[in-house]
Amino acid sequence: MSKPFGASNNEPAGIRLMGRRKSEAAAAVEALLERAGRISGVTAADVDAACRSVKVDSARQIRKECKALYGRYLDYCFEDKKLSAEETSDLAHLQRVLQLSDADVSSVQDDVSISVYGTAVAEVLEDLRIDPEEASFLRSLRDELRLPESQAERILEQGAHDARGRALREASAGDDTFVERRQPAGDFTGRSPDSLQAAVDDALGKAHLAVPKLKWFELKQISGYVENGSASQWYVIVQAGIDPEEL
């Protein structure tokens, strides 16, 4: 989000379904906030005047829309996952000029906090693990967002569940293009006392001598000997083939 208010953003939630005057009043207030540059430069009188310009008495008559505008600004402030002293001050000022109650602000903060923390959890769990630095970051963010520990744990558990699901889907997804563009050229054996990779390379080296245009391979069988609890010899059977389009 490049800026909290203006034409580049979608309308606040609920505005499209409200009466025309309330929609126009909300748009007028948003335009006022956009022009101001700094939230601290806007007064409650300015907001009411913007409402009256479209025949709505005051911001109190568009409370839902004002809550949505407050939520948009709060979300904008949390783009960097923290609130500065200046942003905290601006949010308090915005609450006053939009004439929102503490209960209004609290409900908006709850929704934004859950969204911001959920996004952070998803980003951290992209590699399916949380290192100590990331755990510290999530604790700090939880405290910054004033999320109850129990709620943060639920979000973390759901995030971990979703991340495992994504990883499983990606791991089990087939590559249709890869399957379609395969024509087997034969099975080849390879061996190595060093590693599985070396045994596969041995098999492919032999295959390449017979079929220089090899484009793919599939590991069909792995076996070997054990010495002192570790693999001492690797034997593989590799199926290799060509791309039919290159025939």
Residue that is written with structure tokens 């609450």 in the block? 95
Residue range 38-96, pLDDT digits in tens: 899 999 999 999 999 999 999 999 999 999 999 999 999 999 989 999 999 999 999 99
Domain residue limits, the chain: 15-163, 177-246
State how far the Cα of 54 lies from the Cα of 57, in Å rounded to an integer: 9
DSSP string, 85-121: HHHHHHHHHHHHHTT--HHHHHHHHHHHHHHHHHHHH
Contacts 24+ apart (CB under 8 A), 109-116: 109/74, 109/145, 109/146, 111/71, 112/71, 112/74, 112/75, 112/78, 113/145, 113/146, 113/147, 114/147, 114/151, 114/155, 115/75, 116/75, 116/78, 116/81, 116/141, 116/145
* pLDDT value of residue 18: 45
Residue range 169-201, pLDDT digits in tens: 766 555 555 556 678 888 999 999 999 999 999
State how far the Cα of 60 lies from the Cα of 36, in Å rounded to an integer: 21
User: What percentage of the chain carries pLDDT values higher than 90?
Assistant: 66
Mean pLDDT of the chain, nearest integer? 87
* pLDDT value of residue 12: 46
Under 8 Å between Cβ of 200 and 178:
no
* pLDDT value of residue 165: 83
State how far the Cα of 161 lies from the Cα of 208, in Å rounded to an integer: 44
Under 8 Å between Cβ of 26 and 44:
no
Number of H helices, E strands in the chain: 9, 3
Range list of β-strands (E), the chain? 183-192, 216-227, 230-242
Say yes or no to pLDDT of 34 above 70. Answer: yes
Count of C-beta atoms within a 10 Å radius of residue 160: 17
State how far the Cα of 205 lies from the Cα of 160, in Å rounded to an integer: 42
Q: Which two tokens stand for residue 143?
A: 């405290």
pLDDT-derived band at 19, boundaries 50, 70, 90: low
CA 118, 123, 125, 131 torsion: positive or negative? negative
What residues contact residue 162 under an 8 Å CB cut-off, 6+ apart?
122
**CATH superfamily of this structure's domain 177-246:** Flavin-binding protein dodecin (3.30.1660.10)
Across the range 118-144, mean pLDDT stands at 93
* pLDDT value of residue 13: 44
What residues contact residue 154 under an 8 Å CB cut-off, 6+ apart?
none
